[in-house]
A and B are shown apart, each in its own frame.
Chain A
Amino acid sequence: MSLLHIENLTIEFPTHKGYVRVVDKVSLRMKSGEVLGVVGESGSGKSMLALAVMGLLAPNAKLTADFLSLNHQDLMKLTKEQRRSFIAQNASIIFQKPENSLNPCFSVGDQLRESLKLNGVQRYREQQKKAIELLSDVGISDPETRLSQYPHQLSGGMNQRIMIAMAIASKPKLLIADEPTTALDVTIQAQIIELLLQLNTDNDMGLMLITHDFALLSESTQRVCVMYSGQIMENANSQNILKSPRHPYSKALLESIPHIGERHHMGERLFSLKGTIPAIDHLPVGCRLGPRCPRAAKECVKTPRLEAVKNHGLVRCHFPLPEAQEKEA
């Protein structure tokens, strides 16, 4: 059985025009210890998906799913309280802005000790010892001093490491990283991703890496899920997607990554899709990418289904791109 199993998960929010779907029938599975990348531009519903798995959606959100299980436990069968403590023990999440996700009023030590206490470490001495261990595990120098410091006294990268330390305090089976490096410097970004991957291999911890940046995923993930407007557009092995994306949207995302020293000529513009992601209460008829798609045709006014493509994975498109020929580097 899988670590995370989602079937037809839908999230709706009430507005004065009625319910609006921000995530539409998303299905995905993660094996234990797997690294899954979830990619999509802002507003594609990838963060909502993460919050839904963690049970952190706003109380007015309406969540429906045919099946939702985490670490072999059907979450829909638990009461609210049970679900909360089960998720807290089995999954953790880190957010985009580390300085906002740590409580400014409590020291690093307070917050780490709280996490440890919730995971059954009762004695103060032991909490302190474990907290120092956790901080060293995430590569923080001088952990004893850091414990008495407050988030505002530390850098963004340092705070994100502390968030990660807090997240792994419960030895979770799944760690969701919701754009963990967006607010950080490029060099720190690489370090944080490396740290997450190292924790993934060392602890056999599943990692869901949510990002809008394909470049971050390239080597690190096993599978990639491309989301657009609340739907999964392509879900396939990451090597397949990176080498030969079959959905026009995946291709557009990949082509919008700048490469140094290749393909670009002076004055050439970086590729980007025309237009913006549609407002979620104003979706186009048929394929949601339709109006922006360079390959759109008559049939695209009919909603495409997520279908298996041979030797690849799942693609939601009437006209999947042909498999790219092996290019010599």
Chain B
Amino acid sequence: MIRIILRQLSIFASSLLGIIFIFFLLTQLIPGDPVVLNYGNLTPGSFEYERAAESLGVNQSFFDQFYLYLKRVLSGDFGYSLITNRSVLDEFLTFFPATLELSIFASLIALILGVSLGVFAAVRKGTWLDNLVMSSSLVGYSMPIFWWGMLLILFFSLDLGWAPVAGRISYVYDIEPVTGFMLIDSLYAYPKYEFAAFYNALSHLVLPAFVLATVPLAAIARMTRSSMIEVLNADYILTAKAKGVSDTKIIWVHGLRNALIPMVTIIGLQSSVLLTGAILTETIFAWPGIGKWMVEAIFRRDFPTIQGGVLLIAFFVVLINASVDFLYAVINPRMRRPK
């Protein structure tokens, strides 16, 4: 187990280093004065300009500049927003919980529904139910989510009035940000609003989470199905049947346990799809997360925010993938204690 952890950590560290290097190259490629790009409109020759130039090392060699960049990034200095003048890391941490909350909820929907639908289709392989699940998942997989999101708003929010159109919670409620997760924070406000705030936050979350979950859900359902069909044809399933194990247990224990192994990696890859989708979803639903934050930074040409934000998102994706690889090793006995 320790070997696996060390292995994953070293892979994680080298991926981070690689990402930082690529980002450094990109910042070198941006046309214009690097000092102005990073610190805003400073007058060349002024004291502030010189100090900024020195901290970036613009007059030093390529490798010295990379060393300085690495040192800044690793010490948590991702620059300062040109608009708000706040540290990019601070801003990221303010917006990130909203995205995380949305993504976790969406992943749960995608995983639970996707795996169940996939298993359902695999068990009924070749029937019209299987065809129905598979063709609708193909539609879901190819769905442009900005259009899908608006369609759902039109139907569920405007026509039926079941869910709010946008935001994380109604302005009626004054919620103190404790954890940054609205569902949890609204429970902290229990003495004030009882469960009303929680239900309100939940009703705001359901629609965007479902929209965000659509593509991963379809992908997971299709993968589960094919993985499951393969596993259910294996000899050890026959062995289990011959032993007299019940069908339910064969499918959900003997089958799914094996089918999950190849899926874990692909589910991990879906996390980057999820974050890309979050940018679109947050824009549609006015969800104050990093997606919306990044889009606004792009419109305002806030370069330090864009650079720092994208780098932080990349870190996060690498982190998820490293954890998924670790999980893969944990659930696959064949990765443990090689013979």
Contact = CB atoms under 8 A, between A and B. Distances in A.
B243 interface: yes
B238 interface: yes
Contacts of B332: 105
Contacts of B331: 105
B245 A105 contact: no
B258 A95 contact: no
Contacts of A51: 238
Contacts of A95: 235, 238-239
A163 interface: yes
Q: How large is the interface on A (under 10, 10 to 19, 20 to 34, 35 or more residues)?
A: 20 to 34
Contact of A85 (B244, B333, B337): B244
A226 interface: no
Given A84-B244, A88-B244, A89-B244, A105 B257 contact: yes
A55 B236 CA distance: 15
A12 interface: no
Interface string B239-261: 11111110000000010011001
State the main secondary structure of chain A at its contact with B: helix
State the main secondary structure of chain B at its contact with A: helix
B245 A153 contact: no
Contacts of B336: 150
A56 B244 contact: no
Given A104-B333, A152-B334, A153-B339, A88 B235 contact: no
Nearest to B261: A105
B29 interface: no
Residue in A87, A93, A102, A105 whose Cβ sees the most chain B Cβ within 10 Å: A105
Contact of A150 (B234, B240, B243, B334): B334
Contact of A102 (B236, B245, B337): B236
Nearest to A100: B235
Nearest to A103: B236
Contact of B243 (A55, A105, A107, A118): A118
B121 to A, nearest CB: 16
B238 A153 contact: no
Given A102-B236, A104-B333, A54 B242 contact: yes
A188 to B, nearest CB: 17
A104 B234 CA distance: 11
Interface of A: 51, 54-56, 84-85, 87-89, 92-93, 95, 97, 100-107, 114-115, 118, 150, 152-153, 163, 166, 170
7 contacts: A87-B242, A100-B236, A101-B236, A101-B239, A102-B236, A104-B236, A104-B333
